[in-house]
Amino acid sequence: MTIREAFEQEELTRLSPRAAKAVLSRGRVRPVEKCPLRTDFQRDRDRIIHCKAFRRLKYKTQVFLAPEGDHYRTRLTHTLEVSQIARTIARCLRLNEDLTEAIALGHDLGHTPFGHIGERSLDETMPEGFHHNEQSRRVVEVLENDGAGLNLTWEVRDGIACHSGAQFPATLEGECVRRADRIAYLNHDLDDALRGGVLREFELPVDCLKVLGNSHGERINNMIADIVANSQDTEHLVMSPLMQSAMDGLRDFMFERVYRDEWRKAEENRCDYVMKALFSYYNAHPGEMPEEFVLIGYREGTAQAVCDFLSCMTDRYATRQFQKLFVPSGFSQF
Ligand code: MG
């Protein structure tokens, strides 16, 4: 018996009957020889960590655009926090932690530069709309690995595509990530807003904090503990009505005070302008994109290729491209 086979056997006996098991996976689009050491889900996690799109998360905005301070979250640190929260829930419920981790690390790979502002720009530009969760699936299925994709298992791709939006994931591991994503962003965006002076401690909604807890750590812990306590033998992961309504209350507060506040408006308009200017430029000059996107243009049309190129960009790459294309560089002495 190989080490991988021993892991697979152990999953069958140790994990909950509700958990996804690597040996029962619906598999990959292109079958490959099994790894002697790692299960298919462990292998998918590693494929994601080693891909280019994962490294780009470092330079993509979470909520605060290109923050000067070193302690603000980026899309990469957000992803790591989601992974940790989702794994804790999965482990406590005896779900498949490897699958959960793979989905979590891949969930935001398709996120645009400039956070949700960039996402909205592309959504307004593309005839069929744009959603980052669907683009994340496209990154792992089509864009990575010079157009070959990462050839991940069905369960990982399903969890990535259904971490947000109307469609729920098919596995409870996917649900762990969907829940963990919300827990992570609400808490760390609140923490960053306090750090940046956008919010003051005394302004926070007292009723919600009474239920959620008074510190960052306490709030995350309480949300996780509530899901674990209420989801022991349910079909889906659930929160108690009290915790859910406190979390919804905090979410409404964050939308009003942080996500949709006036102070962001000017910056949002600039980001939208950059995205739309880049889109029209490359739509008119598709040959100036890197070759991999030119090839997508031949296969799937120019608009799709430009959308892929733009959504792959980091904040700083998009800004630099804009500068290069539209801002005079001035005369410099040789
Ligand atoms: Mg996310």
Tens of pLDDT, residue by residue, the chain (334 residues): 999 999 999 999 999 999 999 999 999 999 999 999 999 999 999 999 999 999 999 999 877 766 677 888 899 999 999 999 999 999 999 999 999 999 999 999 999 999 989 999 999 999 999 999 999 999 999 999 988 999 999 999 999 999 999 999 999 999 999 999 999 999 999 999 998 888 999 999 999 999 999 999 999 999 999 999 999 999 999 999 999 999 999 999 999 988 877 777 788 899 999 999 999 999 999 999 999 999 999 999 999 999 999 999 999 999 999 999 999 987 777 6
Residues 6+ apart with CB under 8 A from 244: none
Q: Distance, CA 103 to ligand 1 centroid (Å)?
A: 11
Q: How far is CA 264 from CA 109, 202, 225, 277, in A?
A: 24, 22, 34, 20
* Residues within 5 A (CB) of ion ligand 1: 108, 181
**Which DSSP symbol is given to 266?**
H
What percent of the residues of the chain are helix, what percent strand, and what percent coil, each to the nearest 5? 65, 0, 35
Q: Distance, CA 280 to ligand 1 centroid (Å)?
A: 28
30 and 151 in contact (C-beta within 8 Å)?
Answer: yes
Q: Distance, CA 177 to ligand 1 centroid (Å)?
A: 9
Q: Distance, CA 107 to ligand 1 centroid (Å)?
A: 6
Q: Distance, CA 26 to ligand 1 centroid (Å)?
A: 25
Q: Distance, CA 184 to ligand 1 centroid (Å)?
A: 8
Q: Tell me the whole-structure pTM to 2 decimals.
A: 0.96
Q: Distance, CA 15 to ligand 1 centroid (Å)?
A: 26
